[in-house]
Structure 1
């Protein structure tokens, strides 16, 4: 009957020597893991800092020739106007090259339908007097180029869109994207959706 004692009634015993040694090994291993992680975190921080500095240096070095040529153009500002224009064109090309070397491309050859993910409306053009006016919401001119990198739009292109053909007999005409496309009137991202005929 004495064998059915509860845990509370059993006398405490010292841990076996094997368990004490194993505990000591686990504690030492945990300390090494913590030290390794601390070293990893410190090393990663240094590597991230070095990568940021290298990227900054790459961008700066891409733009230094632009500054050099601007200084050269300014030093010849009193010279022949044609040579000044040629110099500015050269600086412009250097700036485009610097953007390209950073993986940035321009959105300046946009034509066709207005796309709110790539465009913002800068103007709505009344093209109703032309023989065959483009449909409402069609991009007719790029006012300011946009830029993208890795397929992500950094700045949308500001565009002029067609107001579309003039309605006849007082009917309403729909201009641009539908309201459910995420474009709202007056938000700068899409042409107004309805206009009254005059």
Structure 2
């Protein structure tokens, strides 16, 4: 048989109450539970409010980041636009100089897209890759291997992981 002191050491609550001399009544237990419930509700409400504040702060930060990125991209295109304006201002000049200027502006735009992570893809003679190419025509070309890109109709931009647009190509058909 255990003594009240031994029972209390072993974590027996009824023994602890017996040692204290009086057991809490139902009203004291209910009051303690209500107090604990009120504390938990307060903590829960605070946690929900904190979560809502974090969500709002994140949404505002995302809006600012998107606006800043749009401004950076638009600013990167301004030199291209400036050079187009210069070309139009000299439209009356030597036509070959205008053509050279337009080529230079196109090259500038291609370099800008590459710097933004979208390099130009306009290779011919490569194997057809459905991840990079969009077939717009199939041609019978006995001089090339089957499924080879024979002509680029519209260049593509991007990489396998981040593609802005696939390359529109004609492909040699399988011979058989």
TM-score by length of 1: 0.67
Which of 41, 50, 53 in structure 2 is aligned with 1:27? 41
Per-residue deviation, 1:146? 1.1
1:157 matched to 2:171? The reply is: no
Q: Report what 1:14 is aligned to.
A: 27
Structure ranking higher in helix proportion: 2
Contact 1:66/1:91 (8 A) holds in 2: yes
Aligned to 1:92: 106
CA, structure 1 residues 25+88, in 2 after alignment: closer, same or farther (shift >3 Å)?
same
Comparing 64-73 with 151-160, greater Cα deviation is found at: 151-160
CA distance in structure 2 between the aligned counterparts of 1:82 and 1:25, rounded to whole angstroms: 82
Which of residues 82, 91, 111 in structure 1 aligns to 2:125?
Answer: 111
Matched, 1:136 2:149: no
**CA distance, structure 1, for counterparts of residue 99 and residue 148 of structure 2:** 34
SS state at 1:124 partner: strand
Compute the displacement of 1:150 (Å).
Answer: 6.1
Distance (Å, rounded) in 2 between the aligned partners of 1:64 and 1:46: 27
Residue ranges of structure 2 left out of the alignment (5+ in a row): 1-24
Which range is displaced more, 49-58 or 21-30?
Answer: 21-30
Please state whether the residue corresponding to 1:158 is helix, strand or coil.
strand
Q: Which aligned pairs between 1:1-198 and structure 2 lie closer than 5 A?
A: 13-14=26-27, 16=29, 17-128=31-142, 133-149=143-159, 151-163=161-173, 173-174=175-176
The higher radius of gyration belongs to 2
Query: Residues 19 and 76 of structure 1: is their aligned pair in 2 closer, same or farther, counting only changes over 3 Å?
Result: same
Instruction: Give the Å deviation of 1:142.
Output: 1.8
Distance 1:142 1:49 in 2: 38
CA contact (8 A) 1:104 1:148 kept: yes
Alignment length (residue pairs): 151
Counterpart contact for 1:143–1:160, Cα < 8 Å: yes
Please say which of residues 115-124 and 82-91 is displaced more in the overlay.
115-124
CA contact (8 A) 2:148 2:171 kept: yes
Structure 1 residue runs of 5 or longer lacking an equivalent are 1-11, 165-172, 175-198
